[in-house]
Amino acid sequence: MEPPVIDVKNLVKRYGDKAVVDGITFSVGAGEIFGLLGPNGAGKSTTISILSTLLSYDEGEVKIGGLDLKKGAAGIKRLIGFVPQDLAIYPALSARDNLVFIGRIYGLTGNALERRVHEVLELAELVDRANDPAGTFSGGMKRRLNIGAGLMHKPAILFLDEPTVGVDPQSRNFIFEHIEKLNKEGMAIVYTTHYMEEAERLCDRVAVMDGGKILAMDTVQGLIGLAGAGIIYLGVPCESLETTQRLFQSTENIHAIPASEGRLKIETTRVDEDLLRVIARCKEQNIPILSLELLKPSLETVFLHLTGKRLRD
């Protein structure tokens, strides 16, 4: 079995007394797209910053490409590409000059540099605007250039920190396609996001994070299976909330708990069938249904199952 390109064991990062990354363990295989999914403040960006050599850590062991992060950071920097959440490009410089600068930082010169700049401009579909200042680009174009800058030195591992924030749907699709393409070429990718759709579409495996911990980690299908199939939000009058909850307490495959504002959260493994059952039981007991929301099986429902809150709360 091929050794993982990233191996993280019991990683801890503290700010003062607060552990923002709290003993996480995971590994990423060669050619894998690994997702870190969680809301803002979950510890995803801190984790990716540690793996990108930007932040130190307090406890644990991290190996990237077989190199220990604490001892071999210089070697690791050559293996990895980092695309930060911020648009880390120089708006006054042209797209070409931005890429030339990054290429030189990674030691590219002469024809090799020129060739690579052209390749990345093509990859980012910015050849036509190569000589325009990056500050004049649309949000999507800036994001593409931002990603392109992270690819200049053809890294074996790419860290993408929320790369689609503020991007229009067209550019988002473009980014997805290129990530998939890079992955097919053998690049391992670690992708942080709080958009479950992105994790579902791109990632081979996903670690769900909250409060600095990994709550669950599996393939997307595995995670959905873990959480049950789906969630029904049932809105009833406040005075009927307890009665309604008791109604489903002994029902097979249904788990009902109070949610916010007079709603019950009903987790079920067979959403379609159980939805009809829920409606029928309420009708039998003369409990008026004020609202009904159906969340189909997804990472969103997994997150709800694991944390009791939505990803974008």
Partner 1 sequence: MIINQIFALTWKDLKLFFKDTRAMALIFLQPFLFIVIMSYALAGLYGSGGKPLQMLAVNEDGGKEAENVIKGLSGLKGFSVQTAWEGAPLTRVKAEELITKGTRSLAVIFPPEFSSVLEQLPTKEDRPTAKVLLMVDPATSSAVTDPVLGTLQGLVERAAFTAMMPRGIDYLFDHYNMTDMQVGRNDFKKKAEDSISGGLLGGEEKTVTVEKVTPRAMKVAKFPDSFQQNVPGYTIYGVFWIASLLAASILREKREGTFTRLMAAPVSKAVVLTGKLIPYYLINILQIVIMLGASALLFRMSFGHSVAGLAVTSLVLAASATGLGVFISAFARTEAQATSLTVLLLLTLSSLGGCFVPRFIMPHALKVIGLITPHAWALDAFQDLIVRGYDLTEVIPKICVLAGFAVLFFVIGVGRFRFE
Comparing CB distances to partner 1, the nearer of 105 and 280 is 105
Distance CA(220)–CA(205), nearest Å, equals: 6
Comparing CB distances to partner 1, the nearer of 148 and 230 is 148
User: How crowded is residue 11: how many other Cβ atoms within 10 Å of its Cβ?
Assistant: 25
Binding residues (CB under 8 A) for partner 1: these are 52-54, 74, 77-78, 80, 82, 84-91, 102, 105-107, 149-150
Nearest to residue 34, comparing CAs of 224, 215, 207? 207
Can you give the C-alpha Rg of the chain in angstroms? 23
Q: Smallest distance from the beta carbon of 196 to partner 1, in angstroms?
A: 25
Are 50 and 220 contacting, i.e. CB atoms less than 8 angstroms apart? no
Q: Smallest distance from the beta carbon of 91 to partner 1, in angstroms?
A: 8
Q: Smallest distance from the beta carbon of 57 to partner 1, in angstroms?
A: 15
Comparing CB distances to partner 1, the nearer of 84 and 228 is 84
Q: Smallest distance from the beta carbon of 54 to partner 1, in angstroms?
A: 5
Comparing CB distances to partner 1, the nearer of 101 and 233 is 101
Nearest to residue 299, comparing CAs of 234, 205, 167? 205
Distance CA(269)–CA(306), nearest Å, equals: 15
Comparing CB distances to partner 1, the nearer of 105 and 290 is 105
Using the structure block, give the residue that is written with the tokens 């504002």: 261
Q: Smallest distance from the beta carbon of 29 to partner 1, in angstroms?
A: 22
